[in-house]
Structure 1
Amino acid sequence: MTRTVELTTYLPTDPDTAWEHLQTSALLHHITNPLVKFVPRGDGFPKRWTDGEHRAWMFLFGLIPLLWQAIVISRPEGPEGVRVLRDNGYSPVIRRWDHWIEIAPEDGGTRYTDRVHIDAGLLTLPVTLFAKAFYAHRQERWRVLAETGFRALDS
């Protein structure tokens, strides 16, 4: 049983700037903090995401272990004018965490969309409820970053 969560927000920044930041692991760490902390397995995350699989341990609030997650990056072609970053991830509990991020121009800024398709067997409903809160948190952190010119990533 697959469920989908989709949230869209407006970012007061140009799409090129949003796209450049989206492709960095620093942005992931910032926008998921303090709700989820990702600790890369192995040699760490690349500074700029490369296509392929990257694994991380996940910790709720930086303390409670949530097992590991595979982050599987690709950049599929989107509709005209829309840039797409896809994480077709999974974990020991979540069979499918297929996250599509879309960046598109809108009213002098950026329309940012998170869409994730989730299959976690019997845990799909609670994982979906968590995903709604997780992506709302991420989008709020994105908006603040954009409003402040992404200064928090420079420190």
Structure 2
Amino acid sequence: MIMMIACSVGLIAYGYAQDSKPKSKIEKVVIEYNGKKVKARQLTVSSEIPIHIDSAWANLTPALLEFVAKGMIRFKAVEGEFPKKWEVGQTYGAKMRIFGFIPFGGTHYLFIEKIDDNNHIISTKEWDKVAKVWNHDVVLKDLGNEIIQYEDSITIYGGVMTGVITSFAKKFYKHRQKRWQIVAKENLNFAE
């Protein structure tokens, strides 16, 4: 028991959150799509990340998206390059390639609905040919001691493909949050 406590204290001292393994849950929900009620999924993935909340918030950029998605999805902006920072009210188009080479969904559109600097929330409305609804909230909560709770909450609807898309999304967001641990551990900066 003493050894477990000593190991836990040691891991925290070296910059690892106690609860760094992403947790997830999927709920069935009913949403409105094109004037009809449809069965969708609400996916929530969260973990603790040993990073100051201001650093994490500043890092939420298109460059970070490319880093945390690496290995599972590669994004290529449809028009030129992504901006340095996301802008509220803007819609960005991207071609997605799963595992870097398998095209998926045609052009994926990402509309930045809200960036709330005070509460550390970014909300997007996203869609493509397969994932007709992909509404995503990123929420950061300061837990103190330079540890945050990072949460991705996504409402997904893709018709008969909803379950398959949600299953892949669960793996993808867990992957992203594990890559966030690298950002924290190596003190990477994507804000510039």
* Structures share fold, TM-score greater than 0.5: yes
Cα distance in 2 for partners of 1:141, 1:41 equals 25
Give the alignment of 1:2-17 within 5 angstroms. 2-17=40-55
The structure whose RCO (Cα within 8 Å, separation 6+) is larger is 1
Deviation at 1:34, TM superposition (A): 1.3
2:15 aligns to what? none
Q: 1:69 aligns with which of 94, 103, 108?
A: 108
Q: Give TM-score, length-normalised by structure 1.
A: 0.91
Q: Which amino acid aligns with 1:85?
A: I
1:143 aligns to what? 181
Cα distance in 2 for partners of 1:123, 1:98 equals 16
Cα distance in 1 for partners of 2:57, 2:135 equals 19
Q: Deviations over 1:115-153 (max 9, x none)?
A: 0000101100000000100000000000111111116x5
2:137 aligns to what? 100
**CA 89–114 in structure 1, closer or farther in 2 if over 3 Å, else same:** same
Cα distance in 1 for partners of 2:186, 2:160 equals 41
Cα distance in 2 for partners of 1:115, 1:101 equals 7
Structure 1: runs of 5 or more not aligned: none
Matched-pair identity in %: 28
Q: Deviations over 1:64-118 (max 9, x none)?
A: 111221011132559xx63110121000111100010001101321110000000
1:122 aligns to what? 160
For the pair shown, which has the larger CA radius of gyration, 1 or 2?
A: 2
User: Alignment partner of 1:75: what SS?
Assistant: strand
Which stretch shifts more, 65-74 or 53-62?
Answer: 65-74
Cα distance in 2 for partners of 1:83, 1:107 equals 15
User: Alignment partner of 1:50: what SS?
Assistant: coil
RMSD: 1.7
Are residues 1:112 and 2:135 paired? no
Q: Give TM-score, length-normalised by structure 2.
A: 0.74
2:71 aligns to what? 34
Cα distance in 1 for partners of 2:184, 2:116 equals 24
